[in-house]
A and B are shown apart, each in its own frame.
Chain A
Amino acid sequence: MSRIIPFVTLCILLLIPLSGFTADGKAPYFSAPYTGEKVQEYEIELPVSRYEKERFRIPADCGKLNSRLLEGSGHWGNRVERRLWMKADDDCRYLNFLKKYSRKASRDFVSNYDFYNASISDLPLRPGCDLDLLLRNPAACPPPMPGMPNFSMFMSSMPMQQSREEDLRDCRFENGLFRGYIYHTGMGLRCIRDPKAPGYRILSVDFADVNGDDCQDAVLRLVPVGRGARPSLLILPLTRCGKDEKFFLPPGSDYPRFGPAPE
């Protein structure tokens, strides 16, 4: 009996990080391989040698998957199978990112915000670069951060002919989608929505304290949409420490990057 209790405790402790639950108690969603469906868990069969394949259940088997990757199995298979290895690994790493600090943050100014209908002006147009600097001297800004959305690329250099109240209303996500052009006018940011223009689609919003500063963070996963867009996941961790503040990147968080590096 004396040996069973520590063993059970150890098992519970080990299972907690693999449970897939974020700090807010909701399991994140993924796009299932092969079907693209919105799921919270999926099965994937991956080659582990020239002739062998192994089935993994994500997120439950994330540990096993990681072990196999460390053994070097990730290079087996054809181009598609190697990309699937990467996807499964991305999903596991994302879970780990969310669960890095399992403790619930005491300050939370993000979870009540409706990110699916977020105002563009609330978001960093180019993560890592201050808006004023971006508007004043974009060249002085550091280059766009890889794997993160860059709204500044929708900014039009053409002067906006009219600035109406509606344009302000247009400058926001609608049900997770923004497609259009962004202008900077004297009245602030203004947008023209265009359903054929490129944009971003918010796939998910998860909440966790990703940098352990006891301030709750929101992690947005987005995909670019529009002609020519590469359907690869982008990540945008956001936080704020006051109710009406603009969102910014949680300091010190080492955010995960999804998919292969662009060729």
Chain B
Amino acid sequence: MARQRFILLIAAALVSTGLIAGLAYSLWSLGDHNLAGEPHVIADALVGENTSGFAQATRTRPFSFPTDYGPHNAYQAEWWYFTGNVVTSLGRPFGFELTFFRVALAPGEPVDKSPWRTNQLYLAHFALTDVDGEKFYAYERVSRGALGLAGARSDSLTIWLEDWSVRSSETRHFPVILSAAEGNIAIELSLEQGKPVVLNGYRGLSQKSSGPGNASYYYSLTRMPTRGTVRIDGETFAVVGTSWMDREWSTSALGPDQIGWDWFALQMSDGQEIMFYRLRRQDGSTDPYSAGTLVTPSGAALQLTHDAVQIEVLDYWKSPRDSTRYPARWRIKVPIERLELEVRPILAQQELNLSVRYWEGAVEFAGTHADEPIHGRGYVELTGYDRHKAANNR
């Protein structure tokens, strides 16, 4: 899906400067407009030059677990995306994001005597939304996938970057324990599998743009019962809630006029979930490769094409940093399902200002499904809204 580009942006940016600060410096330093477009150039160069040695998602494949929980190093990019809404017994809500990215800097496995040598680079983002405290925290980590500093296992859903990790127990694949701490925040959450694996796209093959191979393998766990603790400023909260996991890997480039995307992952009170990504083009229109999945209470998946879903932006939010404008309230309609929702962030400021700048936040919604009132929570991701970058792309 569209995050393909996102990860390449991160990877390319990181690689281009070798480090986060340098990247932040070159990407976000105000007034330095010339540099803003650099990662795109690099991303294209990186992809253009290096895709040859990588495997590509050209046809459907059988998914097999636990192997497919693990890394697919033959592909250039891959991620493990955990988001979720949890709440204390007193009803205090929190949203969290813990995401691991794997980027292959070169195809194949290098042969070297030094164990530090690797082609695999891991990145991770950890964010926490505290609605009552009106605070949003976001952190980033990078490490090479060597020496046990970062990596993922093939025999279970286990991935780590330094001391941020997702680990399953020795004997069972679920629950998995999400564990991360940075600054004043920490999470320690146990996630059950919940519903069975949902294959997005056509049997898990998710086409991004025209051309063979411009696709990814993409599956999700859409309703993972979650319990554990959230810690903020030394105060620990026992929480329960629901999480969502996206797993995706691919080697491909997006079309040059796809400038960003809006991704929705919503868990409804009637036991259904909807995932939809809207790829935005230069002219503001919706790319026909936008798509989604509707998951029934029993776990059956219904594919949603770009024209099956109507999204209307009702409101905007301006980043206090530089007035970059993000959509902040939506009306989403799926006419064939007789589904109509109004979605809004549980906190306006959920912008991650990391090596790549994007908005990813917990949302809540209410609406009707076949005339029955429903509500729920979920996560929304908004990319490509950065003013500098948008200007530069044009």
A binds B: no
